[in-house]
């Protein structure tokens, strides 16, 4: 077992690398990388990995990037993951004088870790600072710490793998799924656990609800708007369906004790042909459904289908269908993938051996261990939700700033996250094979 000495070295090296990681975060914020346009950012990320001593780094056909710091012995591969895209900055007038792509650094008031008060400390401002440009910096530098320790003569088991994926924000996991299912297979790579840099305020985050987008269409028949009795108005036909979704299905949805209740929300209604003089023959409902472990897109779809079938039995004129939405996403390298709007729910138990190894790692570098769950979705829906590999969020960033014009990151947290990331690799490499047991629910 590694003694405390190595973790003290980790803390020292994180302090040494802080300034470089902060400057690097600024550069990343200054390099726009909206979903589908991450090319310029990848150049910076690849160059940084080479600079800090990664053994290998490469780009795949879709444009994801992968870097490895290799241990000397067989052991687990811990995948550190950050998405390379970010959402649009919105109205620049809301940015309190900061340039969304300025990467400006100053001393400012920012929430403390538990949002119980404010600290006055150094922050980097700009779009993506909290979601998740600083994540690339502390995860890449976590690998730099391992590379430096190797030079000092320390030996490690397994591999520290940093990954930057395209197109996370549209929420279809296209980058993560392609990288794992295609690129890893081609290159003979595997991973045993994933650490996500999505905002956690230096806590360990253990899961989130899933998300499925449904598109239900209720059918009717057109007639002249002046003679509605000659047609079948699809909007009126949709009313009993909407009522049942709201008053029967939603209240009956299950609850998870950590993640909360599953939910359903009808958020868009459209109709066709959509002219004032025509009775509409199609009414389309876009439904946002949040799922909990144990539910799937298909089981959630079937619940709506059952209501449709029930209504059709009572009313021979009632016709409707429901599908999971999908969308074609094009990467900056030109790869097009049709992705369904379906992200699985997931949960890594607090008493899972990987969670325990992460907790011990943070203690070893002097960080208090706290737990949480995300409100929003992440690419953990692939690694934990589909692949069932232990997955954890650990991040310098604070979720309340993500996607807002107050987007910023504390530099003191970046330093801590460099140390924590390296420590998680060291501790989980030392732990037994049971550490990576499959997630079940």
- Provide the binding-site residues for Zn ion, judged by CB under 5 A: 131-132, 198
How many Å apart are CA 38 and CA 295, to the nearest integer?
Answer: 33
How many Å apart are CA 241 and CA 216, to the nearest integer?
Answer: 10
The smaller minimum CB distance to Zn ion, of residues 131 and 213, is found at 131
CB of 441 to Zn ion, least distance (A): 24
The smaller minimum CB distance to Zn ion, of residues 131 and 387, is found at 131
Instruction: Tell me 63's DSSP state.
Output: S
The smaller minimum CB distance to Zn ion, of residues 132 and 176, is found at 132
CB of 396 to Zn ion, least distance (A): 13
The smaller minimum CB distance to Zn ion, of residues 54 and 374, is found at 374
What is the Cα Rg of the chain in Å?
24
Residue number with the shortest CB distance to Zn ion? 131
CB of 168 to Zn ion, least distance (A): 6
Encoding tokens for residue 80?
């550190």
CB of 36 to Zn ion, least distance (A): 15
CB of 90 to Zn ion, least distance (A): 16
Provide CB contacts within 8 A for 433, sequence distance 6+: none
The 10 Å CB-count burial string (b at 16+, else e) for 82-116 is bbbbbeebeeeeebeebebebbbbeebebbebeee
Query: Which residue reads 């690339």 in tokens?
Result: 136
The smaller minimum CB distance to Zn ion, of residues 198 and 342, is found at 198
CB of 50 to Zn ion, least distance (A): 25
CB of 366 to Zn ion, least distance (A): 27
CB of 141 to Zn ion, least distance (A): 19
CB of 167 to Zn ion, least distance (A): 11
Distances (CA, A) of 427 to 75, 271, 291, 375, 387: 12, 56, 33, 28, 23
How many Å apart are CA 372 and CA 205, to the nearest integer?
Answer: 5
The smaller minimum CB distance to Zn ion, of residues 132 and 417, is found at 132
The smaller minimum CB distance to Zn ion, of residues 198 and 256, is found at 198
Asked, as a colleague might, if the bond just before 273 is cis with ω within 30 of 0, I would say yes
The smaller minimum CB distance to Zn ion, of residues 201 and 222, is found at 201
- The full 3-state SS of 135-156, as one line of letters, equals HHHHHHHHHHHHHHHHHCCCCC
Angle made by CA atoms 412, 380, 114, in degrees to the nearest 5: 35
Picking from 80, 16, 18, the residue whose alpha carbon sits closest to that of residue 421 is 80
Encoding tokens for residue 414?
């970046």
How many Å apart are CA 134 and CA 417, to the nearest integer?
Answer: 10
The smaller minimum CB distance to Zn ion, of residues 214 and 401, is found at 401
Q: What share of the chain is helix, strand, coil (3-state, %, to 5)?
A: 35, 30, 35
């Amino acid at each position: 077992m590694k003694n405390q000495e190595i973790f003290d070295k980790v803390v020292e090296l994180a302090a040494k690398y802080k300034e470089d990681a902060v400057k690097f975060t600024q550069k990343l914020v200054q390099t726009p990388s909206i979903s589908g346009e991450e090319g310029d950012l990848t150049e910076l990320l690849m160059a940084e990995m080479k600079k800090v001593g990664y053994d290998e780094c490469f780009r795949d056909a879709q444009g994801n990037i992968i870097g490895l710091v290799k241990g000397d012995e067989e052991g687990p591969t811990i995948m550190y993951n950050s998405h390379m895209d970010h959402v649009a900055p919105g109205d620049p007038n809301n940015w309190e004088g900061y340039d969304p792509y300025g990467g400006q650094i100053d001393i400012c008031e920012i929430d403390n870790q538990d949002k119980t008060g404010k600290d006055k400390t150094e922050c980097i401002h700009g779009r993506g600072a909290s979601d998740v440009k600083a994540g690339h910096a502390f995860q890449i530098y976590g690998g730099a710490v391992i590379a430096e320790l190797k030079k000092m003569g320390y030996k490690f088991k397994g591999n520290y793998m940093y990954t930057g994926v395209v197109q996370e924000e549209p929420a279809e996991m296209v980058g993560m799924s392609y990288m794992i299912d295609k690129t890893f297979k081609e290159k003979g790579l595997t991973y045993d656990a994933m650490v996500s840099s999505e905002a956690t305020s230096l806590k360990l985050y253990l899961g989130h609800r899933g998300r499925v987008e449904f598109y239900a269409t209720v059918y009717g028949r057109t007639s002249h708007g002046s003679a509605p009795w000659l047609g079948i108005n699809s909007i009126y036909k949709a009313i009993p369906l909407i009522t049942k979704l709201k008053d029967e299905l939603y209240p009956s949805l299950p609850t998870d004790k950590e993640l909360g209740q599953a939910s359903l929300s009808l958020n868009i209604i459209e109709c066709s042909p959509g002219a004032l003089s025509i009775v509409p023959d199609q009414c389309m409902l876009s439904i946002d459904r949040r799922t909990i472990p144990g539910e799937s897109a298909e089981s959630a779809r079937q619940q709506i289908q059952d209501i449709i079938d029930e209504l059709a039995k009572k009313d021979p004129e009632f016709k409707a269908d429901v599908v999971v939405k999908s969308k074609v996403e094009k990467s900056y390298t030109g790869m097009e993938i049709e992705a369904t709007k379906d992200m699985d729910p997931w949960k890594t138990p607090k008493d899972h051996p990987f969670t325990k190894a992460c907790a011990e790692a943070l203690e070893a570098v002097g960080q208090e261990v706290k737990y949480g769950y995300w409100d929003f979705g992440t690419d953990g829906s692939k690694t934990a939700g589909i692949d069932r590999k232990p997955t954890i969020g650990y991040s310098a960033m604070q979720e309340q700033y993500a996607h807002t014009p107050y987007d910023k990151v504390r530099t003191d947290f970046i330093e801590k996250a460099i140390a924590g990331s390296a420590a998680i690799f060291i501790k989980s490499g030392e732990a037994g094979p049971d550490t990576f047991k499959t997630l079940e629910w």
